[in-house]
Chains A and B, each alone.
Chain A
């Protein structure tokens, strides 16, 4: 697998990093990916993009059976319709993202002008608003359908999130997402890393936790539990609810920075959404 080695970035590490113990993003990513590869030696690296099914053969069989005619196909169809339907001003999402919307591989990115992480969902809604339309709601429904269509047309694009070195705020956003990932919260006192890194693949009651390597590649997802499509931020919120931590706002700074970090950790994998999950 190709790994993105950003030597220029490696040189810039240390600037604006509060703790001397902190390695830079490039080292973080290498250590993160190596951790999963040595923990799950039977999983081919690219297969981590398939979530828990990359480490659970029996569940994988059921998943493959669902993928024979996945429920998200209905979402892709609806998304295609929405994507090409005209706004009141005669334009459509295609005017923002091209005829097929195959732009998944460009997100999330650091928007220097705005000083924030730009996600694909946000970009969709900003395109709508710029054309005088109301934004979609963030977590499910039309936003999930449209991004399902766009992600589908983007399948196979490489995850290559960049943390620009010429804007220290980008590194700060990354560090914020990283801290979020490793910090315990909620009454159950779990960090994302507790379940999805340190004990990834272990049973929590009846569920095996998925590796965080590959967590951000396959969205939006049709979850059997939801019986509907949902965005990555919908899942973040669900996870926080599970550990009895108040969820943050979808597309707020916390989740956008978390997405920035988690996606960066999966650099080198392929975007493979939409997907079906349990």
Chain B
């Protein structure tokens, strides 16, 4: 990283724009509450997409560590070559598995990166909604209780 670059970029960000306009409504906002407060992966999928019938797909790239350095900050990345409408990410054993749902409009790449919290070792699943069907990729991420660092 260029040590100077960060500050220059930061400098170009304009001061806070007062958010006076109504917040743009996200299409799935109507049922998001139920999907997000739900202990079951299947029920969350039902709430989100009206279906929990999923097909595993090799066309989804799910990047998540085998062993999380710190369960509070686990970097994840989901991308797919499919034409995706939505990408969701689930952490199975979290109190509420659904962590994020991203809407991918036309012209936007089917890719999302974020950092999630994980309570314990569990399966994580990327769900891609494409042409009304749900495709998944899963892997296990180990969360350890640290000795000194964690």
Q: Is A62 an interface residue (CB 8 A)?
A: yes
Q: Are A65 and B75 closer than 8 Å at their CB atoms?
A: yes
Cβ distance A68 to chain B, nearest Cβ, rounded Å? 8
Q: Are A278 and B69 closer than 8 Å at their CB atoms?
A: yes
Q: Is A166 an interface residue (CB 8 A)?
A: no
Give the CA-CA distance A240 to B68 in the complex, in Å: 25
A76 with B150, Cβ < 8 A, contacts A61-B65, A67-B1 known? no
How many residues of chain B get a CB closer than 8 Å to chain A's CBs? 25
Cβ distance A237 to chain B, nearest Cβ, rounded Å? 13
Across the interface, name the chain A residue whose C-beta is closest to B64. A62
Chain B residues near A189 (CB, 8 Å)? none
A204 with B147, Cβ < 8 A, contacts A63-B69, A224-B70 known? yes
A278 with B150, Cβ < 8 A, contacts A59-B69, A62-B69 known? yes
Give the CA-CA distance A141 to B1 in the complex, in Å: 25
Across the interface, name the chain A residue whose C-beta is closest to B10. A77
Complex interface bits, A200-214 against B, C-beta within 8 A gives 1, otherwise 0: 000111111100000
A195 with B3, Cβ < 8 A, contacts A63-B69, A225-B70, A278-B70 known? no
Complex interface bits, A47-79 against B, C-beta within 8 A gives 1, otherwise 0: 000001000001101110111100001001100
Cβ distance B10 to chain A, nearest Cβ, rounded Å? 6
Q: Are A242 and B148 closer than 8 Å at their CB atoms?
A: yes
Q: Is A37 an interface residue (CB 8 A)?
A: no
Q: Are B69 and A224 closer than 8 Å at their CB atoms?
A: yes
Instruction: Select B147's contact among A73, A156, A206, beta carbons within 8 Å.
Output: A206
Kindly state the interface size class of chain A when it binds its partner.
Answer: 20 to 34
Please, could you name 25 A-B residue pairs with CB atoms under 8 Å apart, sorted by A?
Answer: A52-B149, A59-B69, A62-B65, A62-B69, A62-B75, A63-B69, A65-B77, A66-B75, A68-B113, A76-B6, A77-B7, A152-B7, A153-B3, A205-B147, A206-B144, A206-B145, A206-B147, A224-B72, A225-B70, A225-B72, A225-B149, A239-B148, A277-B149, A278-B69, A278-B150
Complex interface bits, A90-106 against B, C-beta within 8 A gives 1, otherwise 0: 00000000000000000
Q: Is A227 an interface residue (CB 8 A)?
A: yes
Across the interface, name the chain A residue whose C-beta is closest to B3. A155
A-B contact count (CB 8 A): 75
Complex interface bits, B52-73 against A, C-beta within 8 A gives 1, otherwise 0: 0000000000000111111011
Q: Are B150 and A207 closer than 8 Å at their CB atoms?
A: yes
Q: Is the interface of B mostly helix, strand, loop or mixed?
A: loop
Give the CA-CA distance A155 to B4 in the complex, in Å: 9
Cβ distance A102 to chain B, nearest Cβ, rounded Å? 10
Q: Are A209 and B148 closer than 8 Å at their CB atoms?
A: yes
Q: Are A205 and B3 closer than 8 Å at their CB atoms?
A: no
Interface residues of A in 135-154 (CB under 8 A from B): 152-153
Across the interface, name the chain B residue whose C-beta is closest to A153. B3
Give the CA-CA distance A80 to B8 in the complex, in Å: 12
Q: Is B146 an interface residue (CB 8 A)?
A: yes
Give the CA-CA distance A242 to B146 in the complex, in Å: 11
Chain A residues near B1 (CB, 8 Å)? 67
Interface residues of B in 92-132 (CB under 8 A from A): 113, 115
Q: Are B75 and A204 closer than 8 Å at their CB atoms?
A: no
Q: Are A206 and B75 closer than 8 Å at their CB atoms?
A: no
Chain B residues near A209 (CB, 8 Å)? 148
